[in-house]
Chains A and B, each alone.
Chain A
Amino acid sequence: MTTIESQTTSHLLDQHILADFIQHAGEIEHPREMIIDVLRAIQLHHGWVPDDGVELTAAILGLTPVEVEEIATFYDKIFRRPVGRFVIHLCDSVCCWTRGADEIAAHLQKTLNIEFGQTTADGLFTLLPSCCLGCCGIAPAVMIKQQFYGPLTPEKVDELIATLRQEGSA
């Protein structure tokens, strides 16, 4: 079984979860299939996946770092750079577009004073475009911490941001 030194990994994963991953990786035929699970666990614990997070994932699963990096960089919901406390994924696919996503996008950028891909100076918000979130019924929509919000109007966006600000400062 893989042995990993705990003091170098405590900032990335809870030690119990780490032990579970190591055990599970030893039990299944293709540990590679756990890449996303481990990366998401690291992201949950650390906020984003730093280089040593990729290396830790590789060590747990018996892979090389680049084999993990291929997956980590493919998915836009795995963050390989620091992000704000709330990552706003704004859907840019067709249903949301027909229902006014462009206006929401402009409003979000103006309100937060950042462009897509940027994080606010207070470290609270990161704004990212996303492909279809699968919630066309509430278009235009955003996803924040795996919660959907929509249909959005500029006013509702203001309310949402205010609520999150409050939550962030609490």
Chain B
Amino acid sequence: MLTLTIDNQTISIPAGKTILEAAEALGIMVPHFCYHKELGAVGSCRMCAVTVHTGPMPGVKMACLIAVEDGMVVTTGDETVATFRERVGEWLMLNHPHDCPVCDEGGECQLQEMTISSGHGIRRYQGGKGTYTNQDLGPFIAQEMNRCIQCYRCARTYKDYCGGRDFGVMGSRNRVFFGRFKDGMLESDFSGNLVDLCPTGVFTDRTFRFKSRAWDLEQADSVCPQCGVGCATIPGGRLRELQRVRSGDNPLVNTTFICDRGRFGSGYANHPERPRQARQEDQVVSVPAALTALETQIRATVKQHGPEAVLLVGSDRASLETNWLLQRTAKHFGCRVPVLNAHRQRHQTAQMAAFDLSERLASLQDIRSSDLVLVCGVDPLAEAPLLALALRQAVRKGGRVVLYDPRPVELPCDADRVAVSPLALQELLADGGVEGRHLRDLLSQAKNPMIVAGADLLGLAGLQNIQKWAEKTSNKERPCLVYPVLAGPNSFGTALLSLPEQDDLLTRLASGKVKMLVCVDADPLLEAPEGERFAAALTRLEQLVVLDYLPTSLSRHANLFIPTCPPVEDSGTFINNEGRLRRFQRVLKPGLSLARTAPGEHPPREFSLDTPGSDPQPAVLLLQRLIGQEQPLTEVHRQLVLEQPRLAALVSLKAGEAGVRVAPAVARPHSLDPLPEQPAQTLELVVTPARYGGDLFSRYAPKLEPRKRPPCFYLHPDELQAHGLKDGDAAVVETDFGSFTLPVRSQPDMALGCVLVENSEAFPQLIPGAGLGYCVISAGGANE
């Protein structure tokens, strides 16, 4: 620790920190632009000038560049630097328009704040200002180059941090332009970060333009529900509409970046088809009446047919509290334990992560500083976008990424990519011969090795082998950590809560004993494989009850439907891929947005005590009412921790915090089954979530439409030729789950012997994570 004095205050701080960071730790704000804690310092804006009074070269220095030294004496507000900063402020403002009152950034503009804090207030420059022609950067980002102060943060964000290659800095000196070669949508899946990182109004959220002033928004610390990474977000809403999402700050998970799917994929909260009223057999009923009916029905069914007759289903997108209350509800009514995840295989792999791998889980922070990451069976941009950014940071620091996957995985960084079929990958992990030994040697020799394991593609057997690899390549000095990529925002949590006796959904439905099915924030038709078997089982039910906030088809089939709230309208907890408890806080109350009730006009002149469309309630509250135990969330957490001591951190957890890991469990013993033989004359079937529309939330996000792709089967060109097919032909693919006709596309970067298809709203029939699958492809259209 080094001790220094800044503005007569003394601080001890580790070596390697800068004066700016030391001042920040003391609560002294030194104005700055180009410095950003994730992008680092470049010392180009000259705004953070301070006076260093000690050492061989005293004088004006840039606080972001100078490392602290023992005994250093610094002043941040003396006349020399105050004047210096005022001049810098004045100079930065030379070309800047005076459009603050109408600027989209107004109210959350760092330039505004820093100009004021620099002391510059009166314009002396009377000359002409530089002006620019703006580009059309697509539907997500609006550009207004006249406001640019050439701090280069956008280029450092888009190119350096996120690895985008279609955005750059053009021109020189006072003609510098930040943009694309030609008009068009920014291609990076992280383009939205320009909005957060630009310190002024050059890059703003086009989807949020002209909607609200930043200070009018209702905002709260939340967690993105759109994959298992669990990024910190700050959604903002007004007039009962979720208007935008920006990145929060979680140094251990996403730092200050989020992906475009999370940022622009929030349309589900205000989806026009979102069910907002309780329904019983096509009749609209009040929520209390629906709850009473539900209670009566559950009691009657259990009484008449026994505890097996009522089956409660939770999901990996429902909060920890909701899933736990489902278990409570089952106990209360004397039903058998609920199924917390309708997708059997995903549930098993999540349990593998929650129990067996829990001692050796990596965080994204760990991955960012790893020197060797072995990525197995993951397409990060589709399954966990921020993981792709973490891999890039590892590579930027000199690390190496080795990737094994059948898909044409794109990464925003260099990687040693090997295209292998899922079966070949399983064989590699099971032993792998020379190649397997080579990879294990690499991991053993690395200083800080990590394995990223895709639960969907590897399945239980694959993850078990990954665990063995990690054990074998760990040593006394350092462990080999594993980052499992799970499907849902709370896959880890649901797995941790679930009880061994829960069985899987289809087994229990097939027993014929289930008369009543209650799905809470779950749609097994869309979220679990074997949808046909599930649909058939539905017809044998007497009662289907659905509590959900998405307009899924299951909610339309329900005999009894009760609307719930998405995470932005609820408070709760998710446990992310790395076993970290992440609390989200309510941003908005439910209600039909004013944009819907009064499109562009005066709000309706109808007077009522209720907000239109405000019937939805958080699932936790509904379940509490159902069992007659309304308690604050803190009490729920206290009781939950009593049952699950691993979740002890839950009690003191706060929204906006980095979050605490669940306590590790002891790995369970398990035996490995031999790999199945591939049936002759078949190709391996690889089902992957689409980058946009793969998760259920982004299917109901209209803003994401421009990024969605039509469904098709992808094959290696050699495979196409072998089957007498051409790029663009229609083909029939026969699978265990039915036969499907789609166009085929040639994809030279994927593995041989595979058919790849993306699961999205346009092709929801095949669900990822169903295990090794095989198919037969033939020229198609004949059976249509």
Please report A residues at the B interface, Cβ cutoff 8 Å. Answer: 51, 54, 63-67, 69-70, 73-74, 76
Contact = CB atoms under 8 A, between A and B. Distances in A.
A70 B170 contact: yes
Contacts of B711: none
A34 B182 CA distance: 22
A73 B166 contact: no
B167 interface: yes
Contact of B165 (A67, A73, A74, A76): A67
Given A65-B182, A66-B167, A69-B181, 12 more contacts: A51-B181, A51-B182, A63-B165, A64-B166, A66-B168, A66-B170, A66-B181, A70-B168, A73-B170, A73-B171, A73-B172, A73-B177
Nearest 8 pairs of A and B residues by beta carbon: A65-B181, A66-B168, A66-B181, A73-B170, A64-B165, A70-B168, A73-B171, A74-B172
Interface string B94-115: 0000000000000000000000
B145 to A, nearest CB: 14
B180 interface: yes
B171 A64 contact: no
Nearest to A70: B168
B541 interface: no
8 contacts: A66-B165, A66-B166, A66-B167, A66-B180, A69-B181, A70-B170, A74-B170, A74-B171
Contacts of A69: 168, 170, 181
A54 B181 contact: yes
Interface in B125-167: 165-167
Q: Which of A64, A66, A70 has the most CB of B within 10 A?
A: A66
A70 B166 CA distance: 11
B169 to A, nearest CB: 6
Contacts of B167: 66
Contacts of B169: 70
A61 to B, nearest CB: 13
A152 B342 CA distance: 86
B445 to A, nearest CB: 25
Contacts of B172: 73-74, 76
A15 to B, nearest CB: 25
Contacts of A73: 170-172, 177
A169 B172 CA distance: 35
A19 to B, nearest CB: 24
Q: Which of B168, B171, B177 has the most CB of A within 10 A?
A: B168
Contacts of B180: 66
A70 B170 CA distance: 5
B188 to A, nearest CB: 11
Contacts of A54: 181
B181 A64 contact: yes
A67 B171 CA distance: 12
Contacts of B177: 73
A93 to B, nearest CB: 15
B133 to A, nearest CB: 14
Interface string B706-748: 0000000000000000000000000000000000000000000
A63 B181 CA distance: 12
Contacts of A51: 181-182
Nearest to A68: B181
A157 to B, nearest CB: 28
Contacts of A66: 165-168, 170, 180-181
Contacts of A74: 170-172
Contacts of B168: 66-67, 69-70
A141 B172 CA distance: 24
Contacts of A64: 165-166, 181
Contacts of A70: 168-170
A64 B182 CA distance: 11
A91 B682 CA distance: 72
A54 B170 CA distance: 13
Contacts of A67: 165, 168
Interface in B157-213: 165-172, 177, 180-182
A64 B167 CA distance: 9
B89 to A, nearest CB: 27
A70 B158 CA distance: 15
Nearest to B177: A73
Interface in B485-529: none
B165 to A, nearest CB: 4
Nearest to A58: B181
A27 B171 CA distance: 30
Nearest to A73: B170
B691 to A, nearest CB: 20
A132 to B, nearest CB: 15
A65 B167 CA distance: 9
Contacts of B165: 63-64, 66-67
A65 B165 CA distance: 9
Interface in B235-291: none
A159 B167 CA distance: 47
Interface in B635-669: none
B189 to A, nearest CB: 16
A78 to B, nearest CB: 11
A51 to B, nearest CB: 8
A113 to B, nearest CB: 25
A59 to B, nearest CB: 13
Nearest to B179: A66
A47 B97 CA distance: 38
Interface string B542-582: 00000000000000000000000000000000000000000
